[in-house]
Amino acid sequence: MDDIKSISDAVMPVIEQRIGAAPAIFNLWFGEVELISLSDTEAVFVAPTELKKKILITKYIHQMGNALEDVIGFTVEVKIVSRDELEEVEEFIEDDDDEDDIPVPDPTEEDDGKEEIISEFISGASDKPSMLDNYTFDNFVVGSSNTFAKAACMAVAKEPTVYNPLFIYGNSGLGKTHLLYAIINYMKHNHPNLKIVYKKCETFLAELIEALQAGFVAPFKEKYRRCDVLLIDDIQFLAGKEMTQEEFFHTFSALYESDKQIILTSDRPPKDIKPLSDRLKSRFEGGLLADVQPPNFELRIAIIRKKADDIGLTISNEMVEYMAERLQNNIRQIEGALKRLYAVCSFTATSVTKDKVDEVISIIDPGNIPADAMIERILGSVSKHYGVDIESMKSKKKTDSIAKARHVAIYLIRNMTSLTLKEIGGIFDRNHATVMASIDYVELNMRTVNGYEREIKQLKKEIKG
């Protein structure tokens, strides 16, 4: 089962890359999808609802099959079932052991399901985060980019309403949701009597629409306004939705005035969530704002070592540092690459090599290529664009055309790789000061020369392919 889980985790970022949809769209249809069975001929994915199952079969099953083939190395038939179908099968298997216990329905009884739906709305049940217990403060890897956010979350978990609301923001994949799960876990163990409701903002929106359509607005309000702790993930999805903003404002106010804890995450600070009502913005800003920044090199090394150890992947220090140099955007990207590496190495019974790391990263992040390959691309593109050969760019020649091409090449290498100024100087046989002068020259022209910035952006686009 551990292997299936690892393959399921590894295939999801590959599916996302193949589909090419916005993260919000991908999360909408694939957020709770997982691989539950795999043989040499067939793979079975489970979707949370019948609607999502139909959408996946209609629009995405082909890409899912191709992505799975990328991960496991061979072709299988992909099948998709809904969670309800799976549970029906499981119930049938359990009940089949004792047929006398099967209840016989009374045809005279009528049940329109309304009571069950109302019960679900007011139960306080939250979205069940996958493997929730694995996300704690202890296994959250800390560095300078996230120390304050973790400290704020720990303070709220220990003493709810000490900071209210707590608003955590930062780019996708930096650990915001991990911190939410860690708060939930801590509170479950240390404040067991608290009623905790965790929801993704998209789920909150969907539930409100369903409540309005079904006429269950009162139970919906009761569910969210009677809890002790409300955690909403990705609150930026409220932007532009006036009716939902209105309902959330009243929910927020009711909880705040009752001294209940509110914790929100977003990919941006409140002032940048647009359009968002001024009164919601002021309430979000009225508590504690904690930002999470991309991890620096040292933190990326620590994360790679920790995550590799968690999944049982043996990886050398050299490969850890190489991955840390290549994967700079976010933690989720690192996790995806490690899980795919684990799957590849498990299936082939081989160890982690530089070639395997390059192959995995090229799938997880297609625009991410090794520094030496990127330098070759940059020099080749600049040479072609300005009609100056690469050797001339690296030489001591100072004609206007050669100098211009050299300046641009230095600027692009600085901005598109992780090379230091000294390392870039080594390519062109220049010192640190000369490299800085080239970068300053290009940046000045981008601000002052008409069309120059567009020219540089077009070169970047060509280099990234």
Domain 122-291: give its CATH code: 3.40.50.300
pLDDT value of position 87: 58
Architecture of domain 297-364: Orthogonal Bundle (1.10)
Report the share of the chain in percent with pLDDT over 70: 88
pLDDT band at 245 (very low <50, low <70, confident <90, very high): very high
pLDDT value of position 85: 73
Q: Which of 264, 281, 463, 312 is nearest to 379 (CA)?
A: 463
Domain 2-99: give its CATH code: 3.30.300.180
Q: Which of 108, 111, 51, 109 is nearest to 85 (CA)?
A: 51
Question: Which region, left, alpha or beta, applies to residue 170 given φ > 0 means left and ψ of -120 to 50 means alpha?
Answer: left
Distance CA 324, CA 115 (A): 53
Q: Determine phi and psi for 39, rounding to 5 degrees.
A: -125, -175
Q: Where do we find the tokens 């000490």?
A: 162
pLDDT band at 208 (very low <50, low <70, confident <90, very high): confident
User: Tens digits of per-residue pLDDT, 215-235?
Assistant: 778 888 888 888 999 999 999
- 32-43 average pLDDT score: 86
pTM: 0.58
As a three-state string, the secondary structure of the chain is: CHHHHHHHHHHHHHHHHHHCCCHHHHHHHHCCCEEEEECCCEEEEEECCHHHHHHHHHHHHHHHHHHHHHHHCCCCEEEEEEHHHHHHHHHHHHHHCCHHHCCCCCCCCCCCCHHHHHHHHHCCCCCCCCCHHHCCCCCCCCCCCCHHHHHHHHHHHHCCCCCCCEEEECCCCCCHHHHHHHHHHHHHHHCCCCCEEEEEHHHHHHHHHHHHHHCCHHHHHHHHHCCCEEEEECHHHHCCCHHHHHHHHHHHHHHHHCCCEEEEEECCCHHHCCCCCHHHHHHHHCCEEEECCCCCHHHHHHHHHHHHHHHCCCCCHHHHHHHHHHCCCCHHHHHHHHHHHHHHHHHHCCCCCHHHHHHHHHHHCCCCCCHHHHHHHHHHHHHHHHCCCHHHHHCCCCCHHHHHHHHHHHHHHHHHCCCCHHHHHHHHCCCHHHHHHHHHHHHHHHHHCCCHHHHHHHHHHHHHC
Question: Which region, left, alpha or beta, applies to residue 271 given φ > 0 means left and ψ of -120 to 50 means alpha?
Answer: alpha
- 153-176 average pLDDT score: 93
- 63-92 average pLDDT score: 77
pLDDT band at 132 (very low <50, low <70, confident <90, very high): low
Distance CA 392, CA 402 (A): 7
pLDDT band at 465 (very low <50, low <70, confident <90, very high): low
pLDDT at 114 over 50: no
Average pLDDT of the chain is 84
Asked: is 371-464 a CATH 1.10.1750.10 domain? The reply is yes
Please list, in sequence order, all residues whose beta carbon lies within 8 angstroms of the beta carbon of residue 404, skipping any fewer than 6 positions away: 386
Assigned token pair, 87: 């549970």
Residue 410 or 223, more confident = 410
pLDDT band at 366 (very low <50, low <70, confident <90, very high): low
- 392-399 average pLDDT score: 91
**Domain regions of the chain by residue span:** 2-99, 122-291, 297-364, 371-464
Q: Are 411 and 443 in contact (CB under 8 A)?
A: yes
Residue 330 or 260, more confident = 260
- CB count, 10 Å around CB of 47? 24
pLDDT at 428 over 90: yes
Q: Are 352 and 319 in contact (CB under 8 A)?
A: yes
pLDDT band at 332 (very low <50, low <70, confident <90, very high): confident
Q: Where do we find the tokens 């309000």?
A: 221
pLDDT at 108 over 70: no
User: Tens digits of per-residue pLDDT, 15-29?
Assistant: 988 887 777 778 888
User: Tens digits of per-residue pLDDT, 233-243?
Assistant: 999 989 888 88
